[in-house]
Structure 1
């Protein structure tokens, strides 16, 4: 992934929230670039722009919900660190690693690129995430910009939006994939 140009449509609505350059800054509780995706609130805290294309940092908050469809990121390594709550995470490398794990407060999971995964929040939960630089704005590409500080409501993107974001951010949705539970 590379730094997004200033006119990238996934960045423009958020101009001025993050410095867009590797400069020191502080965000207060609830601040950042926020998008509602389904019933989850994603907040980008640090992007490829600030880290010279090294990584991006985000949080995800939500309540008990449906399982997010199986998908894989072709170029993105991703982590889940549960700040508070409980989330089920499915991972399958389509070779010899297959797992369904319930992560609770303080637990950590690593999903390398090309591993099929999905998750389901089991109650009020906040997850800290880190991924390969640039991927953090995937959530903006499929979500709806918001000023919420807690997840509220539901935003369901059109399938064409999901497909376009998947192409841009090297993500393949696999709704027919069957995990070994």
Structure 2
């Protein structure tokens, strides 16, 4: 069973997306939603609907802490800032090492195998696109919710380390606690 398989979903997420390639619509605030730390991740499209080509998701939150450095050995990832400001750090360990604050309309591409991290510098909403099969990582890391919008402090969810580790193993995310972009 693929980690992208709709049959692995929490009951709250079952039936929101069609689970196969067919036309459909989602209104504002709809999609498969999970809270990870202080951020809402909403999955809009998965490999189930795209013949395993790509996933589409959004994340929205307030200014906060840096998401820890990590790498996806098999997943390409796109950041498109719909609103706000997002600081993106990248190091491909082949000569490209940089950081940039993306504002509304800004775009960043993180190829597979690139160490990266990000931090929302203001209340922000990001549209993400990734290789198929990755987006449900956010469900594995988070807590399902039906509520749209930025979570309030009582809704924050700090996953236990074992949950983070298991999600990373299942969805090809390697956390790099040894790597700190902020010390550069």
* Whole-Å separation in 1 of the counterparts to 2:144 and 2:56: 17
Correspondence list, 1:31-50, <5 A: 31-50=30-49
* Whole-Å separation in 1 of the counterparts to 2:97 and 2:170: 27
Gaps of 5+ in 1: none
1:157 to 156, 159, 181: 159
Question: Cα offset for 1:2?
Answer: 4.8
1:111 aligns to 2:110 (yes or no): yes
In the other structure, the counterpart of 1:176 is 178
In the other structure, the counterpart of 1:30 is 29
* Whole-Å separation in 1 of the counterparts to 2:85 and 2:4: 33
- C-alpha RMSD over aligned residues: 1.6
Gaps of 5+ in 2: none
In the other structure, the counterpart of 2:62 is 63
TM-score, normalised on structure 1? Answer: 0.94
TM-score, normalised on structure 2? Answer: 0.93
Runs in 1 of length 4+ with deviation above 4 angstroms? none
* Whole-Å separation in 1 of the counterparts to 2:40 and 2:80: 16
Give deviations 1:128-147, integer Å, cap 9, x for gaps. 00000010100000011011
Correspondence list, 1:137-156, <5 A: 137-152=136-151, 153=153, 154-156=156-158
Compare 24-33 and 147-156 and name the one that shifted more.
147-156
Question: Cα offset for 1:95?
Answer: 2.2
In the alignment of these two chains, the number of paired residues is: 180
